[in-house]
């Protein structure tokens, strides 16, 4: 079946519907949802029962980049900086040096066991060198896996921030494969430019985005998530335009915004959570359609060998060496090594050699696809088991509130106070979002001139308003009084 204007919506919506229904029951059998999305795409593709002919790496790459924008941005918004601050250095080392060491060790192995050149081997190692944010976020959160000693923030920070490093390494070694006369030293300026420009742009666009979101008066709550989508794509595109790393920029921008007071922040977070799931499904369905299972079969043997080496040697080498200067228990290092999930990101990166037209592009793509599938199947299905074996899982009764649901569930409920705003209060004529209200308190209603006003971030406090506030405890009340008086 060829996709046409007439049937693309029907086919697409049916695939999406099937993916959601099948994904809902997948964990009863211990199968990661993302693998099922991929399998449905493969079944619907040219070699499957659906017979949909899709062989367009350029379109697949475009869909992949757009999807990764949403997935990384949503992951950044959900990153609590207070939670990741204690492990910030470990996370940065894992997402930079850890990725580099994984790429080099795997590339060296590929060079020894195949007829690839050293640069082609390093290109393959670079493509699969990062953990996949979509896989890690979805599996950890759908399993509601609670881990000891800041392990979960470490894993989510690493997976959300290490794609830029893998992307730079992929571009660098692809350049060396195409231009054989260049040396390793020629890629250093590219690496520095991508990472430095990306980091600066991410922080700069984060501050600018906060200013725009809180200052612009749109009038409709539903327009604010649309505004954030526009700012996200502007951040990514503008950073790429000046030679920076767009993936790094949008992740830093999102982390900054997620830890600031924003108008209609709850609406923005909910919307991005839903779209991130949609993008994960669309991404895996697209990549499932793109692959031809019959072309993978000849490379299953070498693919399995490389995949096993990546899981049991290359990934642990990257983790242990990058964390060697930090005090951390051995079992924590082993668990971080095991959560080296590869998913859609390596497959998206594998489309770059295809579009560049290098000799072994198809072989690299099929091997990368096989590595990603085996990684999610082997590691994704055993995260809970290994957490118990290594004694890094929290008992179920001690599991914290899911961080991803903090904008729904994490409302203080232990006390309520009514506070009257005096005419000389510094809060008069200020919007709620500009008050920097403590996170342990929440304004649920405002009584004004005998009427009740539903508060929002853009609501302006007036003299003689009576604020009804939910509080955690007496300390919370003290913080509120400091803000209002």
pLDDT by 10-residue block (mean), the chain, 485 residues? 64 76 58 72 75 80 90 86 84 91 95 92 93 70 67 82 88 88 78 90 94 85 90 95 91 91 85 86 83 84 93 93 88 88 84 88 90 85 82 61 42 66 81 73 79 77 80 72 75
Flag whether 157 is in a domain: yes
d(CA 164, CA 195): 8
Same domain, 244 and 362: yes
Residues linked to residue 147 through DSSP beta bridges, in sequence order: 393
Flag whether 1 is in a domain: no
- Please state the pTM of the whole predicted model: 0.79
The per-residue pLDDT for 449 is: 81
The per-residue pLDDT for 228 is: 94
Buried b (16+ CB within 10 A) or exposed e, 431-455: bbbbbebbebbbbeebebeeeeeeb
The per-residue pLDDT for 313 is: 94
Same domain, 368 and 442: no
The per-residue pLDDT for 398 is: 46
Same domain, 415 and 285: no
Q: In CATH, what number is assigned to the domain containing residue 432?
A: 3.30.70.1450
Same domain, 163 and 21: yes
Same domain, 321 and 430: no
What SS3 state is found at 437? coil
For residue 432, give its domain range: 411-484
Of the three residues 373, 403, 433, the one that is the final residue of a domain is: 403
Nearest to 373 by CA among 400, 405, 344, 408: 344
End-to-end CA separation in angstroms for the chain: 68
Same domain, 54 and 146: yes
CB–CB of 46/52 below 8 Å?
A: yes
Of the three residues 403, 426, 459, the one that is the final residue of a domain is: 403
Same domain, 396 and 416: no
Neighbours of 176 (CB within 10 A): 21
Domain count of the chain? Answer: 2
d(CA 431, CA 265): 14
CA atoms within 13 A on the CB side of 42: 15
Same domain, 138 and 230: yes
The per-residue pLDDT for 484 is: 76
Of the three residues 383, 403, 423, the one that is the final residue of a domain is: 403
Q: In CATH, what number is assigned to the domain containing residue 88?
A: 1.20.1530.20
What SS3 state is found at 440? coil
H or E stretch at 97:
none
Flag whether 236 is in a domain: yes
Residue 27 — φ and ψ, nearest 5°?
A: -75, -10
d(CA 131, CA 138): 13
Same domain, 394 and 466: no
Same domain, 142 and 269: yes
Flag whether 2 is in a domain: no
Tell me the C-alpha to C-alpha distance, in Å, between residue 259 and each of 206, 265, 460: 11, 10, 22
H or E stretch at 468:
strand 466-471
């Amino acid at each position: 079946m060829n996709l046409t204007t007439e049937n693309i919506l029907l086919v697409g919506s049916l695939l999406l519907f099937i993916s959601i229904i099948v994904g809902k029951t997948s964990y009863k059998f211990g199968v990661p949802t993302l693998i099922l999305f991929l399998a449905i795409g493969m079944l619907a593709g040219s070699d499957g029962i659906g017979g949909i002919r899709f062989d367009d790496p350029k379109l697949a790459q475009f869909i992949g980049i757009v999807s990764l924008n949403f997935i990384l941005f949503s992951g950044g918004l959900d990153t609590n900086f207070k939670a990741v601050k204690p492990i910030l250095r470990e996370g940065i080392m894992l997402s930079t040096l850890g990725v580099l060491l994984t790429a080099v060790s795997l590339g060296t192995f590929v060079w020894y066991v195949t007829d690839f050149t050293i640069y082609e081997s390093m290109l393959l190692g670079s493509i699969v060198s990062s953990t996949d944010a979509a896989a890690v976020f979805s599996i950890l959160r759908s399993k509601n896996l609670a881990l000891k000693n800041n392990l979960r923030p470490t894993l989510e920070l690493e997976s959300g921030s290490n794609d830029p490093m893998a992307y730079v390494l992929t571009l660098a070694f692809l350049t060396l494969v195409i231009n054989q006369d260049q040396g390793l030293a020629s890629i250093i300026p590219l690496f520095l430019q991508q990472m430095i420009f990306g980091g600066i742009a991410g922080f700069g666009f984060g501050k600018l985005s906060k200013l725009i979101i809180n200052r612009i008066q749109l009038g409709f709550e539903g327009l604010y998530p649309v505004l954030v989508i526009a700012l996200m794509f502007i951040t990514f595109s503008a950073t790429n335009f000046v030679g920076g790393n767009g993936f790094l920029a949008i992740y830093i921008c999102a982390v900054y915004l997620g830890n600031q007071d924003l108008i209609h922040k709850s609406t923005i977070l909910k919307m991005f959570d839903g779209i991130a799931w949609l993008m994960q499904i669309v991404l895996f369905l697209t990549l499932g359609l793109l692959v031809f299972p019959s072309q993978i079969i000849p490379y299953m043997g070498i693919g399995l060998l490389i995949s096993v080496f990546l899981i049991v040697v290359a990934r642990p080498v990257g983790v242990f060496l990058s964390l060697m200067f930090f005090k951390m228990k051995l079992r924590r290092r082993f668990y971080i090594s095991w959560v080296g999930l590869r998913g859609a990101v390596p497959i998206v990166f594998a489309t770059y050699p295809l579009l560049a037209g290098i000799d072994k592009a198809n072989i690299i793509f099929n091997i990368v696809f096989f590595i990603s599938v085996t990684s999610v199947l082997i590691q994704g299905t055993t995260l809970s088991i290994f957490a118990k074996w290594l004694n890094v899982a929290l008992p179920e009764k001690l599991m914290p509130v899911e961080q991803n649901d903090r904008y729904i569930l994490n409302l203080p409920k232990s006390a309520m106070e009514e506070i009257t705003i005096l005419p000389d209060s510094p809060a008069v004529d200020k919007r709620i979002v500009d008050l920097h209200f403590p996170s342990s308190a929440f304004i649920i209603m405002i009584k004004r001139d005998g009427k009740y006003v539903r508060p929002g971030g853009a609501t302006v406090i007036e003299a003689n308003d009576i604020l009804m506030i939910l509080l955690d405890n007496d300390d919370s009340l003290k913080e509120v009084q400091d803000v209002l008086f």
